[in-house]
Amino acid sequence: MRWLLLVVLRRNLKKYALASIPLMLSVTVSCLGLAGVTLMWNIAKYPMLQVIGGDVMVVSRDIKFFSVQGGVGSDGSFEPFHLDEVRELIVKAMPKSKVTGSLVVPAILNYGDNKTASIQLLGRENDTGNWLFSPRFVAGTLPKATAGSFEISVPGHQGGSVWGTVGNEIFIRPMVYSGAGAGDVDAWDYLRSSLVRGRITGIIGPPSLGGFMWTDFNSLREHAASSNLVHWAGIVLPDSTMLQKESQKLAEVFASAMPTLKVVTVDELGELFISDFIHLRRAAAYYVPVMLFLSVQIVVATALALAISRRRELAVLKTLGLSHNQLYLLFIFECLTISFLSALLGLLLSKVLAQALFNSMSVSSTPVVVTVAVTVLVSSIVTFYSFKTRVVGSLRNS
């Protein structure tokens, strides 16, 4: 049987090569289309993703978010909590997720020619390394922990920033966490704070949310004496398409184990930030099945052509003594082999093109599964009905 399969594959190599091209192209187009939809959807959510540091946010239950012009506002106090306890709970509920912690500390900034401003410093623990959950820099890089200095990145644009340019010296006074009246203004002590020399290491371009100035988490924690406290935790899900299901599961866990905290998804914040967010989400959801449906049409047409063109050969093999089961398994395995190789080549090609177009090799593998499954299914049905035709009829009609 194996020898016969190899002989048949080699004999029909040219025919299979022609059939493989539309299969490969349909997979490539579908993968790129789905990757484009995912990229568009992530860009729409990017301002929220970079501030949260994940797809889901764990924050104090008293916080209420509302829509303001050009952003999202909050009402209530961001009461700090210990990240280790929250991380342990999250990892237990969702082992494959990644957890980040964000700490916001009020500070006084001295910059330029004796200018002073009140600012909010944001430090993040466990950076994911994914651009979606980090600020976009138009110049410079993220701050690092430096002995005897305090590095920050400031909001701005391609032309620069009102706070200065990369490399400029600044003096900054981070407030010290007092532990009294957690989350209120009184929790930060100005009198115990000290003036620290620092410099600007990067300029954060739009889109951005909150107007935070980013700094190294460990440096910020050290100067603010905040131990292992954070104001919110971000959760990066292994599969963002499961956002609603996983967030509901996590909300139940925190309602039971830590009722002082609550779960907020990036979609919930997005509805406050973008007026057409719901419509955009629906458009992205509808595009996926449409793209897969078009891909299936091409796959079905190719599978039909491949199966029908083999009717004569199947009839000849049947006259040579092969049973129905042997012919059926032979042809199905041929179609499975060709469709799998074609889909694999299409997936590799889509990764190369995605890297060139989107600067990312992350593409959906769903079209690969759909292509192989549909090709085998259609070929099975056509082959089944071909066996109902008499050998003489198959030879005469081929």
What's the pLDDT tens digit per position in 7-30? 666 666 666 666 677 777 777 777
**72 inside domain:** no
Q: Are residues 226 and 299 in the same domain?
A: no
pLDDT at 287: 63
Q: Are residues 131 and 190 in the same domain?
A: yes
pLDDT at 59 over 50: yes
pLDDT at 38 over 70: no
What percent of the chain lies above the pLDDT cut of 70? 67
- Could you say which of 230, 254, 270 is where a domain stops? 230
Question: DSSP string spanning 338-387?
Answer: HHHHHHHHHHHHHHHHHHHHHS------HHHHHHHHHHHHHHHHHHHHHT
**243 inside domain:** no
Q: Are residues 209 and 308 in the same domain?
A: no
**260 inside domain:** no
pLDDT at 53 over 60: yes
Q: pTM higher than 0.85, yes or no?
A: no
- Could you say which of 230, 259, 291 is where a domain stops? 230
Q: Are residues 211 and 299 in the same domain?
A: no
pLDDT at 186: 47
pLDDT at 58: 92
Q: In angstroms, rounded to a whole number, what is the distance separating the alpha carbons of residues 370 and 374?
A: 6
**131 inside domain:** yes
Q: DSSP class of residue 240?
A: G
- pLDDT tens by residue, 124-183: 987 666 666 788 888 888 888 776 678 899 888 876 788 888 888 889 998 888 775 544
Question: DSSP string spanning 276-324?
Answer: THHHHHHHHHHHHHHHHHHHHHHHHHHHHHHHHHTHHHHHHHHHTT--H
Lowest mean pLDDT among 127-131, 134-138, 310-314, 386-390: 386-390
- Scored b (16 or more CB within 10 A) or e, 131-148 reads ebbbbebbbbebbeeeee
**253 inside domain:** no
Q: Are residues 102 and 226 in the same domain?
A: yes
Q: Are residues 180 and 295 in the same domain?
A: no
Q: Are residues 226 and 283 in the same domain?
A: no
**249 inside domain:** no
Measuring CA to CA, which residue among 298, 299, 312 is closest to residue 11? 312
3-state secondary structure of 96: coil
pLDDT at 394: 47
Q: Which two tokens stand for residue 396?
A: 């005469």
Domain count, the chain: 2
**326 inside domain:** yes
- Which residues span the domain enclosing 313? 2-40+279-397
Lowest mean pLDDT among 24-28, 243-247, 283-287: 283-287
**377 inside domain:** yes
